[in-house]
A = this chain, B = another copy of it.
Amino acid sequence: MADRSTRKPWEELRSILESRQPGRLHDFLERLGPAETARSISRLGQDDQKRLLLLLEPADAADLIEDVSKAQAVDLIEDLEPATAAAIVDAMDSDRQADLLAGLPGASAEAILEQMSPIEAEDARELMSYPPDTAGGIMIKEYLAYPRTARIGDVLADLEANREAYAGYDVQYLYVQDERAKLVGVLRMRDLLFPARTSTLEQLMLRDPLALRADASIARIVEFFERHRLYGVPVVDEQGRLAGVVLPQDVAVATRRLSDAEFLGVSGIVGGEEIRTLPLLLRSRRRLSWLCINIVLNIVAASVIAYYQDTLSAAIALAVFLPMISDMSGCSGNQAIAVSVRELSLGLVRPEELRHVFLKESGLGLLNGACLGLLLGGAALLWKGNPWLGLVVGGALAVNTLVAVCIGGLLPLALKRLRLDPALVSGPLLTTVTDMLGFFLVLSFATAILPRLAGS
């Protein structure tokens, strides 16, 4: 027992896998809980992970796959034979199926789809046809819909007869369709409690119900649920036909996923989420793909310094300030980017309103540039006692701050018009431009008054 309590859960998991006892494995995972299961699996080697999935019943394996993160799930499923993977995917919810399959390389996903049951595969293919960050991508196909001529009594009878099947649906509304499958009305479950059983749905339903188009963005859906406290919103295609239902709990998950992806992207984790159990070479390659772009941008910016080498050797103190001006201008510009990205997403500014943003940012840039320039110039003066040095670095920082906030403010608007993601692309673009300009400003000012700086 003493041994057992200090033993890590994945060590125990490994020994259970060696014993090849499905029952013991099932009980152990049950006791471990989803969070610890995810962590323990991440500590197993690829072979043990595969052995684990093969030892479980497909339904249990599906539960396990639904409990871990998408990156981990893709990694687990990828190593299996298509037939084994298909049995597991068959047992998952339709939207999770689509999500997982969309994360796999195209050929692997196709191989699994071919081995799945035809109905499950068809639903999964339909959901996969929508981008994952749209209403179509997060909707579910499990909803209740009736023709408008149906009577309350028919609906109650249908609900009672299919009680078992509908138990998993858990939808709070009944949708009403016309002859062409167009969504024409909605009723709440509790609206069935009191009316006469002979009333038709058409008499009782709320007409022209709120609905979202399948291509609505996650931001748009969050906005919808912020305004309307509903338990689900129907999704319609271009002809107004009911295609699925978006549940608010799936929106919460999609929102978190989207913001996680943005955070990773801004931090330079690209080409798929990284978990530290992925093979070292894959992790290294993905991170390097981003770093190599950055090193090229850096070399471009640094070429400005190389060009002014003579000035720099005549006034070596300037070298101390170059990295500071690069970093500070980047900080100022990033603040402006963040405000523009937010104002765009709140709808407070439109991509074409460049002039409005320019006016707002240039005022602030003058003010903050003056403050920061005075600070840094003052520091330079105190350090070397040379007011000209202070003037050069302070002046350069002031001008570069003004430019950085204006570019930072405008860039997200311009990128939005080009349909690029402002949050992801603005940063590297901004720093390259402000680095180059900052180096140029310091070194060209300095060149112009070099005799007064020499020896600093």
Contact = CB atoms under 8 A, between A and B. Distances in A.
B323 A375 contact: no
Interface in A259-290: 259-260, 262-264, 266-269, 273-276, 280-281, 283-284, 287-288, 290
A341 interface: yes
Contacts of A255: 252, 255-256, 259
A230 interface: yes
Nearest to A319: B319
Interface in A286-325: 287-288, 290-292, 294-295, 298-299, 301-302, 305-306, 309, 312-313, 316-317, 319-324
Contacts of A298: 323-324, 327-328
A328 B159 contact: no
Interface stretch (A51-59, A110-118, A221-229, A235-243): A221-229
A320 B302 contact: yes
A148 to B, nearest CB: 21
B42 A276 contact: no
A87 B62 CA distance: 53
A316 B313 contact: yes
A160 interface: yes
A39 B332 contact: no
A381 interface: no
B225 A160 contact: no
Contacts of A229: 170, 247, 249
Interface string A363-391: 11001100110011001000100000000
Given A170-B231, A226-B249, A288-B371, A267 B335 contact: yes
> Which of A160, A249, A356, A364 gathers most chain B CB within 10 Å?
A249
Interface stretch (A18-26, A121-129, A186-194, A207-215): A186-194
A38 B222 contact: no
A149 interface: no
Given A227-B34, A294-B327, A348-B275, A335 B249 contact: no
A294 B363 contact: no
Given A189-B189, A323-B326, A342-B264, A38 B256 contact: no
A205 interface: no
Given A231-B170, A328-B298, A268 B350 contact: no
A335 B368 CA distance: 30
Contacts of A221: 252
Category for how many chain A residues contact B: 35 or more
A342 B423 contact: no
A349 interface: yes
Contacts of A42: 348
Contacts of A276: 339, 343, 348-349, 356-357, 360-361
Interface of A: 34-36, 38-39, 42, 67, 69, 72, 156, 159-160, 170, 172, 189-190, 192-194, 219, 221-222, 225-227, 229-231, 247-249, 251-253, 255-256, 259-260, 262-264, 266-269, 273-276, 280-281, 283-284, 287-288, 290-292, 294-295, 298-299, 301-302, 305-306, 309, 312-313, 316-317, 319-324, 326-328, 331-332, 334-335, 337-339, 341-343, 345-350, 356-357, 360-361, 363-364, 367-368, 371-372, 375-376, 379, 383, 423, 431, 435, 439
Which 10 A-B pairs rank lowest in CB-CB distance, beginning with the nearest? A259-B259, A267-B338, A248-B249, A225-B249, A248-B248, A252-B252, A319-B319, A313-B316, A35-B347, A251-B252
20 contacts: A38-B348, A39-B347, A72-B348, A170-B230, A189-B189, A193-B193, A225-B253, A248-B248, A267-B335, A267-B337, A268-B331, A276-B349, A283-B364, A287-B335, A291-B335, A292-B375, A294-B328, A305-B323, A306-B317, A309-B317
